[in-house]
Amino acid sequence: MKIFGYLFFYSYFFILTACRPVVQNGSKEHINHITSQVDDERLVRGDETPGDWITHGRNYSENRYSELQQIKSTNIDSLGLAWSLVLGSRRGVEATPLVVDGIMFLTGSWSIVYAVDCRKGTLIWTYDPEVPGKFGEKACCDVVNRGLAMYRGSVFVGTIDGRLISIDAATGVPQWEVVTADTSKYYSITGAPRVVDGKVVIGNGGAEYGVRGYVTAYDATSGEQIWRFYTVPGNPELPFENPAMEMAAKTWTGEWWKYGGGGTAWDAMAYDPELKLLYVGTGNGSPWVRKYRSPGGGDNLFLSSILALHVEDGQLAWYYQTTPGESWDYTATQHMILTELEIKEVSRKVLMQAPKNGFFYVLDRRTGELLSADPYVYVNWAQGVDLQSGRPLENEFSRYEKVNAMIAPNYEGGHNWHPMAYNPVTGLVYIPALDNGSVYGADPNWKSHESGFAVGNGWNAATGYDPDKPLVTDSLIKGPLPRGKLIAWDPIKKQQVWQIDHPTPWNAGVLTTASGLVFQGTTDGHFVAYDGENGEKLWDAFLNIGVIASPITYLVDGIQYVTIVAGWGGGVGQKMKFTDHIYPGTIFTYALGRKSPYPEYPKPQQKQLIELRTEATEKEIARGASLFTTYCALCHASIGSGGGNIPDLGYSSRETFQSFHKIVREGALLSLGMPNFGGRLSEQDVTLIRNYILATAEKVRKRNSSGDK
Ligand code: CA
């Protein structure tokens, strides 16, 4: 059957190719022709065209595994730079590009879309959705975007300000646009849409800011809304949207809808075209601490869950909740992979996920039955997962209600959004993982949208430390944290096979190939290939830019290429960096035997800590510190630490401090994403913050010059 499928498929292409007039590669006609062929049939059979990369995770199974094997361990020494293209922005780049017949489509920061000719390494078009700068503050974790969907001559992007836009792939001209979220609330889109069954599906983020999560399907041709599935129930006095919401509402108490509830579906999806089930991962509770959003307890469905939705109407087929009563920011929005595994001599259609909570889950994706759940990093919040009930066996201290507790993993997760990959040849899943842990407490003074680690509109977390409670520590959580590692995980034996310890945390997504290679970028600026069997490092290119995105591989005119888009930023990258400088986002493309020079960037000026005297008293400085924590510290690093892709304000120029009030209270830098705090901070507040920065810079400078660090 499969052979006939191939024959049919390739003869179909041959006829198309033979009949069409000769068009120049990279021309509008060429791009229109090749992208128009990306239809349901091709998307379903994504594995049969390994030369292209036409959907986010390479195929609907999202395994990020490529059949290509020209590049292999015996020739990888000659893998070199074919071309590079500087995108310009110094904000984070998290995108997985799409490629069809040598034409690449990708997203950069601020939801900007690029089309690139891979034959020449040149830009074909750019589409800027012109997201207003004021929406920058609604993205908790940088103005990033993780990618596009492609279908019948169009590419689709979700924007930071909550729009879904269809763009003509040949010209970069928008075709339709829908606003998918209430823009008065703190919704944002950073995830890649998927096209399934003729529908573009997109979720959103914002569970740290008091929103209610959902995922929506739009007709890919017209943009008309077909269905929407909310991930948590709304006000039960209003009609429930569907029976699933009525059922979910029984697992909540109090007035959760006033806080949004959370459960945002901000990243992972996968699709089984045979079962016609779309799998969606959901996020954390809003606020994080359950007793504040659902004071009588309860599982709080469908937080931190894997949902199987019928693709036709968006109705729930089944769900599996990884973390009932979520209280740790343990999202299950992490990457999901579909495959078949032989488990106890039975072939099972499975779904695999390594969510933030530290357990690697294998589910039967027809029914949602839990097949296994095993810790892939150090976990102390639960002793394990009961396979009968599917529920975690929580440790008593882990809810930090009577105590403050050191919990592993923490809110950054044992694994975050960085995509993993599954190689059916080695049988291993490669996970960009983290060792970490943090103290959790419940801020006794928390009020929704008022206090907490806030940006003025209510960072809806409510952690913080209650000093009157004892602290439960865990000697097995050892610093320095977080530590980045790459894990090879055997999903059948339910154990780790090998591990690479990275010198820096937060390393990038993964690609694996039929030749047994595993590619990964690192946050200290390397692009590395490993032997998938044993983790031996085979190849290493120094990019000088921290990498967080996933690489892809494809063929152009019969030659295999590997592309990685480097661009430092993201949640951690806003405040920290692991390279000497932050250079602009750049596409790097590699092939065997190529030796193109690396791009040269203008060297950033060496900045000095600001030297401006302040007459503020200690008390005023302390008040300024508190305001800084509430309003600035979500994005800006602590003074003197150096900062990430958002400046350390201690290194601001005299000119910046001269216009400090204009910037903070009048939105002078709004176009860069710096919020206008005019309605939230008084003149006097801003002076207090300014003086705190100046005083702290002075302190750090004195400490540095005395050599006492
Ligand atoms: Ca979160």
Q: What is the DSSP string of 238-271?
A: SPPSSHHHHHHHTT--SSGGGG-EE----S-EEE
User: Where does the chain hold its CATH 2.140.10.10 domain(s)?
Assistant: 47-592
Max intra-chain CA distance, the chain: 82
For residue 15, what pLDDT is reported? 47
Instruction: Residue 186: name the closest of 247, 121, 140 by CA.
Output: 140
CA of 57 to the centre of ligand 1 (A): 22
Asked whether 354 and 488 are in contact (CB, 8 A), the reply is no
Locate 620 and state its tokens.
């005023």
Please say whether the dihedral angle defined by the alpha carbons of residues 123, 96, 77 and 505, taken in this order, is positive or negative. positive
CA of 330 to the centre of ligand 1 (A): 7
Compute the CA torsion angle 241, 247, 253, 254 (nearest 10 deg).
20
CA of 336 to the centre of ligand 1 (A): 17
Report domain 618-705's class: mainly alpha
Locate 32 and state its tokens.
């229109």
Whole-number Å distance between alpha carbons of 201 and 304? 19
CA of 428 to the centre of ligand 1 (A): 28
Strands, E, within 311-417: which ranges? 316-321, 336-343, 346-353, 359-364, 370-375, 382-385, 392-394, 404-407
Whole-number Å distance between alpha carbons of 564 and 568? 13
For residue 478, what pLDDT is reported? 87
Q: Which residues lie near ion ligand 1 (Cβ < 5 Å)? A: 284, 329
DSSP 551: P
Asked whether 170 and 32 are in contact (CB, 8 A), the reply is yes
Instruction: Residue 423: name the closest of 375, 489, 360, 346 by CA.
Output: 489
User: Where does the chain hold its CATH 1.10.760.10 domain(s)?
Assistant: 618-705
CA atoms within 13 A of residue 616's CA, in its CB half-sphere:
25
Q: For residue 134, give every residue at least 6 positions away whose Cβ sits within 8 Å of its Cβ, in sequence order, or none.
A: 667, 670, 675, 676
Q: For residue 619, give every residue at least 6 positions away whose Cβ sits within 8 Å of its Cβ, in sequence order, or none.
A: none
CA of 589 to the centre of ligand 1 (A): 32
Other CB atoms within 10 Å distance of the CB of residue 639: 25
For residue 21, what pLDDT is reported? 59
Which one of the listed residues 299, 329, 435, 524 is annotated catalytic?
329
Whole-number Å distance between alpha carbons of 625 and 636? 13
CA of 306 to the centre of ligand 1 (A): 16
Asked whether 109 and 93 are in contact (CB, 8 A), the reply is yes
Q: What is the pLDDT of residues 666-703, one digit of tens each?
A: 999 999 999 999 988 999 999 999 999 999 999 999 99
CA of 413 to the centre of ligand 1 (A): 10
Whole-number Å distance between alpha carbons of 54 and 638? 41
CA of 411 to the centre of ligand 1 (A): 7
CA of 524 to the centre of ligand 1 (A): 25
Instruction: Residue 493: name the closest of 343, 340, 335 by CA.
Output: 343
pTM of the model as a whole: 0.95
For residue 14, what pLDDT is reported? 47
CA of 650 to the centre of ligand 1 (A): 28
Whole-number Å distance between alpha carbons of 647 and 638? 10
Using a CB cutoff of 8 Å and minimum separation of 24, what contacts does 481-485 make? 481/435, 481/436, 481/437, 481/438, 482/410, 482/412, 482/434, 482/435, 482/436, 482/506, 483/434, 483/435, 483/436, 484/432, 484/433, 484/434, 484/522, 484/523, 485/433, 485/434, 485/435
CA of 207 to the centre of ligand 1 (A): 6
CA of 301 to the centre of ligand 1 (A): 16
Q: Cβ-count burial of 344 within 10 angstroms (0-12 exposed, 13-18 middle, 19+ buried)? A: exposed
Helix, strand, coil % in the chain, rounded to nearest 5: 20, 30, 50
CA of 328 to the centre of ligand 1 (A): 9
CA of 535 to the centre of ligand 1 (A): 31
Locate 398 and state its tokens.
């882990």
Strands, E, within 580-706: which ranges? 586-592
For residue 76, what pLDDT is reported? 98
CA of 547 to the centre of ligand 1 (A): 21
| 313 assigned to active site | no
Report domain 47-592's class: mainly beta
Alpha-carbon Rg for the chain in angstroms: 25
Low-confidence ranges of the chain (pLDDT < 70): 1-21, 449-463, 707-709
Other CB atoms within 10 Å distance of the CB of residue 572: 23
Q: For residue 539, give every residue at least 6 positions away whose Cβ sits within 8 Å of its Cβ, in sequence order, or none.
A: 76, 77, 79, 528, 529
Helices and strands in the chain: count of H runs, count of E runs: 10, 40
Q: Helix, strand, or coil here: 59?
A: coil
Instruction: Residue 666: name the closest of 676, 679, 656 by CA.
Output: 676
